[in-house]
Structure 1
């Protein structure tokens, strides 16, 4: 049985790990739980949601949680996003715990911003940079019940804190407001005392982790869900949008399960003859996987990916491809993941191609190819005129387009999946401009200077 915990600013991770051994994940966002269930979490596992993203990216969907419950996974919530979702879904089997959950469940609080805080980056452990309204509310209520502040003072301080944006709420700000109101030292001392205590969200997070740590094996036996998950259009859109990520993480999990692979990766970093090209391709794959801009690859995208991978590896038949897949240890799921990743990289490359010209010039210079490129263009212009881009035609030189295509593919590799798509992938608006540049290079390479009768068929 595995336990997964989505944790962020509510509790420092090192403190959480001392309470409950588990796999700790970043604050949850849309698609995270669906992907976890599709790739790693299994029936009988446990998922605890403490923190989640609110504004930076879309929040975790209710249906993702219902999907996990339907698959026999026990889903808990407390403290922050977990408390909010548990209050909304406790009737469907999500298990809530703590004062924040109870306050949402009982409609004592309703707004999402009650648990929202500003926080630092992942590298800084998502530490809180503000204090949640619910923590201020519970702390002030505790002071009121203890008789350390009056009901009027409680209401006034609560109303002030609620009027502030969540990213500036804090005990220090509340204290400064109380000081400005001229409240007495006894009230100010009470505020200082409560500010020094663990806040409500931290207390609930600790309570949830201790609860999970105390559970005996079998205490979370899967329960039959009391609902049927509807396959709505929005749900299908969400699942489809996550398929590339699911495939990628499935491949990553499969690779990481082989003990030798860690050594293979380190060896490739250090000593592979293709090291630099491999690192660049891996970087593109990482960017493609993390991008939320690309749409899920379609059937034609995957077909083009097959052609690209086959051509890159010199595979000329289906038999060659099957043998190569077996050699590389690619199962059907791994192969699909690889195709989806390649298609996604291609898609993002096409999206970015419009603004790449300046960088291509820089790349030419960085690789010592700029002078050669200038010399080639100058030679073509000298031989065929400065308007060669508008005037050169294969027919005028008696060159058939199939012959021109064969020459190009022998020299530069195949035009996949077809010449027009290949030209667009290189940044050309259409086939015409691409063909003219190929023809110019061909004529220059062949030393052809005079036109001849037209022959051949159009490139297709």
Structure 2
């Protein structure tokens, strides 16, 4: 049973650990972070802070994926409050006043909770969020430090500032420029905030309340109107899962994703075409295939025929597009049809053959582990090369070098043969395979043994 807390700069990490000693503290949540967690029904995820400007923010589908696992997800204070206000009908729990204001519609703009802060380390905050200024003004008016009219005017000044410029000195300066007679009110508000941090930092208050909330068991509640597991699993979510889920958790600190490892095997494992052929034909066959069928080919041909795809009915253009001249002149009509079905297989119209890392394509555990080691080694080598100068990255490798690399490892030449081999390995086209192979060209030159799957 683990509680994961994504926080910073609202509350420092050491303060979170004092309030929740057993919690695993992460930085502000970003796209992919939740998908990398292996959480279950006994775990809790608390989202306080998140990035949205310097990198992609956490998507709603990612949170729904965690909820669908049965994991408790709580949001408060900042990004957490925003997402909870949007996803509470699916079971996400919202805590605190900021969440309540967003859920009721009292707040609508994202920049109400936005701040500038250090990108790493302690995430030290440089600006004041507008929602905290609202809270400070409300308390200052209640304490008769300001009049309600003066408070409204100061909020208008603060709202006019970009969130990256909202600081107390900037607010005082903007007030002095617009209405010198109101400068004293701005100064009094700033001094009130300094004397009474407990009455001026609403985001921090909500975050601490949320930490306390997570320490208590999940209370029986009304079932969500739309359970998260009913939300459609899109091809984008499937791809994100493949991109962000670690291939070998705990083994590679720098992070090697499932899709990274599958791409390596897709390029270099000698048995991958056979794996992919079984996978594609089984997906085509679906309801036509009996549970005990070891060979999905007959059922795939039956399924294709039901949709009007037969060797007799296919036009010549289809054969010319999907098969090489040598293949069109050999094999049986049934064999040629199976090859065409495998190469043209798509999980959905216009989509790739697969997006994450299906179990049927992963191979043996030993091969998977060794492939992960090779991917990690390639990443380290590419980073070392990039530090030697500009234009020293995989993206700058000449196209001809990458193509010669594939011709060597696939033991063939000519664009027709390479295109057919790429499709037999589940790539949409040779160009996609070449882009994937760029990351491994240097490793192949430096450590060719990393590609010898026969020893795995």
TM tier, shorter chain? 0.5 to 0.7
- From the superposition, tell whether residues 246 and 337 of structure 1 become closer, same or farther in structure 2 (CA, over 3 Å): farther
Name 2:238's counterpart in structure 1: 239
SS in 2 for 1:167: helix
Distance 1:358 1:192, change over 3 A: closer
8 Å Cα contact 1:305-1:339 kept in structure 2: no
* 1:34 to partner: Cα distance: 2.3
Query: Would the alpha carbon gap of residues 83 and 333 (structure 1) be closer, same or farther in structure 2, given more than 3 Å must change?
Result: farther
> CA separation in 2, counterparts of 1:334 and 1:11?
43
Go from structure 1 to structure 2 and tell me whether the alpha carbon gap of 1:188 and 1:75 turns closer, same or farther (over 3 Å shift). Answer: same
Does the CA contact (< 8 Å) of 2:44 and 2:73 recur in 1? yes
> In structure 2, how many angstroms separate the alpha carbons of the residues matched to 1:138 and 1:98?
13
Q: What residue in structure 2 maps to residue 398 of structure 1? A: none
Q: Partner residue of 1:23?
A: 24
Alignment of 1:357-436 (within 5 A): 415-418=408-411
1:141 maps to which residue?
A: 138
Q: CA 1:151–1:239 in 2, change beyond 3 Å: closer, same or farther?
A: same
Cα distance in structure 2, aligned partners of 1:289 and 1:346:
11
What's the secondary structure of 2:368's corresponding residue?
A: helix
CA contact (8 A) 2:33 2:244 kept: no
- Equivalent runs, 1:120-199 vs 2, <5 Å: 120-123=118-121, 125-180=122-177, 181-182=179-180, 183=182, 185=184, 188-198=187-197, 199=201
Deviation at 1:126, TM superposition (A): 0.8
Given the alignment of the two structures, is residue 4 of structure 1 paired with residue 4 of structure 2, yes or no? yes
SS at match of 2:187: helix
Match of 1:108 in 2: 106
| Consecutive unaligned residues in structure 1, runs of 5 or more | 256-281, 309-329, 361-411, 430-460
Q: 1:338 to 1:48 in 2, by over 3 A?
A: farther
Residue 197 and residue 239 in structure 1: after superposition, are their counterparts in 2 closer, same or farther (change >3 A)? farther
**Is the contact between residue 77 and residue 207 of structure 2 (CA under 8 Å) also seen in structure 1?**
yes
What whole-Å deviation, never above 9, does each CA across 1:416-458 have from its counterpart, x for those lacking one? 233558xx7689x9xxxxxxxxxxxxxxxxxxxxxxxxxxxxx
The DSSP-based 3-state class of the residue aligned with 1:34 is: coil
What is the count of residue pairs matched by the alignment?
311
Tell me the secondary structure at the aligned position of residue 96 of structure 1.
Answer: strand
User: Please, what TM-score do these two structures have when normalized by structure 2?
Assistant: 0.58
Distance in 2 between residues matched to 1:78 and 1:231, nearest whole Å = 23
CA distance in structure 1 between the partners assigned to 2:58 and 2:259 by the alignment? 19
* 1:56 is aligned to 2:49: no
Distance 2:14 2:223 in 1: 35
Per the TM alignment, residue 191 of structure 1 is displaced from its structure 2 partner at its CA by 2.5
Distance, in Å, in 2 between the alignment partners of 1:93 and 1:137 is: 29
| Corresponding residue of 1:336 | 368
What's the TM-score, normalizing by structure 1?
A: 0.57
Counterpart of 1:44 (choices 42, 45, 48) is 42
Larger Rg: 1
Q: Is the CA contact (8 Å cut-off) linking 1:131 and 1:170 kept in structure 2?
A: yes
Aligned 8 A contact 2:45 2:74 in 1: yes
- The residue aligned with 1:455 is none
Is the CA contact 1:171–1:195 (under 8 Å) kept in the aligned structure 2? no
Of 91, 94, 100, which residue of structure 2 is paired with 1:96?
94
Structure 1 residues 184 and 6: alpha-carbon distance in aligned structure 2, compared to 1, 3 A threshold: closer
Report the alpha carbon displacement of residue 148 of structure 1 after superposing the two structures with TM.
1.9
User: Quick one: distance in 2 between partners of 1:2 and 1:298?
Assistant: 28
Q: Does 70-79 or 237-246 show the bigger shift? A: 237-246
Q: What is the CA deviation profile of residues 1-46 of structure 1, one whole-angstrom value per residue up to 9, with x for unaligned ones?
A: 211100111011111111112000111112211221xx3x111211
**Cα distance in 2, alignment partners of residues 164 and 211 from structure 1:** 34
- Contact 2:50–2:80 under 8 Å retained in 1: yes
Tell whether the 8 Å contact from 2:91 to 2:223 is kept in structure 1 after alignment: no
SS of the aligned residue for 2:30 comes to: coil
Contact 2:6 2:48 (8 Å CA) reproduced: yes
2:295 aligned with 1:302, yes or no? Answer: no
Structure 1 CA distance for aligned equivalents of residues 67 and 438 of structure 2 = 46
After TM superposition, give the deviation of residue 211 of structure 1 in Å: 2.5
CA distance in 2 between partners of 1:175 and 1:25 (Å): 35
Residue 339 of structure 1, CA deviation: 3.3
In structure 2, what is the equivalent of residue 207 of structure 1? Answer: 209
Cα deviations across residues 144-201 of structure 1 (Å, max 9, x unaligned)?
2333222222222111111111111122322333445333646623431214443111
C-alpha distance in 1 between matches for 2:219 and 2:366: 32
Q: CA RMSD in A?
A: 4.3
Q: Residue 74 of structure 2 aligns to a residue in which SS?
A: strand
CA distance in 1, matches of 2:438, 2:73: 47
Aligned twin of 1:67: 65
**Alpha-carbon shift at residue 114 of structure 1 (Å):** 0.7
**TM-aligned CA distance change 1:335 to 1:104, over 3 Å:** farther
Shift of 1:61: 1.4
Cα deviation for residue 70 of structure 1 reads: 2.0
Q: What are the superposed Cα offsets for residues 74-125 of structure 1, whole Å, 9 maximum, x if unpaired? A: 11111100011111112221111111111111111111111111111322x1
